[in-house]
Amino acid sequence: MRVKEAIRRIMQFDIIASKVEDSDFNLLKTYPEFVFLRKLLKNELSEFVDKNREHVLSILDVGTGPGSILLTTRDVTGPQCHLVGMDISLKMLKVARRKIGKAASLVQAPAENMPFRDEVFDLVFSRNALHHLCNIDMGLAEIKRVLRHNGAFICIESVGPNNDALTYWIPILRYKDRTRTTYFTEISLIKLIESSGFNVELKEVLTHKISLKEWLDRSSLTTEARKNVLNMILELPNDAKKAYGIEIKEIKEKSIIFTRYVCILLARKVL
């Protein structure tokens, strides 16, 4: 990527950072992926700790943003793990620093070129970060490189319910967030992870009913742009509306409900 393009992208995420500053971690904690993650971490980490009693676990969150994965992990692990959050946006990291305090190291770097030695992390997370990468293959190769041999990659991504519905939903996602580069279904995500040298050991697709208002509150859209998103949703064909579980009680953001599909994968690198 050219330097100008890289700077433009960092600035876009810096702008979004001012929005996520206000987003409420207590609300996010109730999202099904965070509930699931807490349970998964409790099992996964106790297994790791049993096997590696002597060493302090190192955990990396790629594209950490405001640090919600770091906060969730710290809640489960307590202080005995070394947590690292990495992001290209310094403003995002400043938000994360305010939330996590000194409980994690924060590093500004691109996922495609990580400033870490080989095989230093026991766990690597990415939540809704892969779909922003300009070069996902490089990002996944870096995740594989920095993971220890029996380490795990926990990947959480919003996905479409199927290809056809996703094709209709993509213009809405693109309009809501221009920094996005990729759109996944569960199948395409698994294919990508496996073709990047990982074995997917666990997969789960969670559904979550959310109002259009709550979804748009996490964006940097203007009032006018939010109206356009609402109209785009109203104009979706019926099959796509059905696939996304769209319920319209009134033509108001908070009265339009849809289903988010969230895919969680636990993958280990193929040796």
Which residues form the interface with ligand SAM (CB under 6 A)? 13, 63-66, 68-69, 87-89, 92, 110-112, 127-129, 132-133
Shortest distance (Å) from residue 240 CB to ligand SAM:
23
Shortest distance (Å) from residue 52 CB to ligand SAM:
26
Shortest distance (Å) from residue 184 CB to ligand SAM:
13
Residue closer to ligand SAM, measured from CB, 109 or 248:
109
Shortest distance (Å) from residue 114 CB to ligand SAM:
9
Please state, in angstroms and as integers, the Cα–Cα distance from residue 128 to each residue in 59, 69, 92, 102, 264, following that order: 17, 11, 14, 24, 11
Shortest distance (Å) from residue 65 CB to ligand SAM:
2
Shortest distance (Å) from residue 271 CB to ligand SAM:
26
Residue closer to ligand SAM, measured from CB, 25 or 252:
25
Residue closer to ligand SAM, measured from CB, 49 or 97:
97
Please state, in angstroms and as integers, the Cα–Cα distance from residue 26 to each residue in 72, 82, 156, 167, following that order: 11, 23, 19, 32
Residue closer to ligand SAM, measured from CB, 44 or 87:
87
**Amino acid sitting at position 52:** N
- Name the residue number minimizing CB distance to ligand SAM: 65
Residue closer to ligand SAM, measured from CB, 67 or 241:
67
Residue closer to ligand SAM, measured from CB, 114 or 230:
114
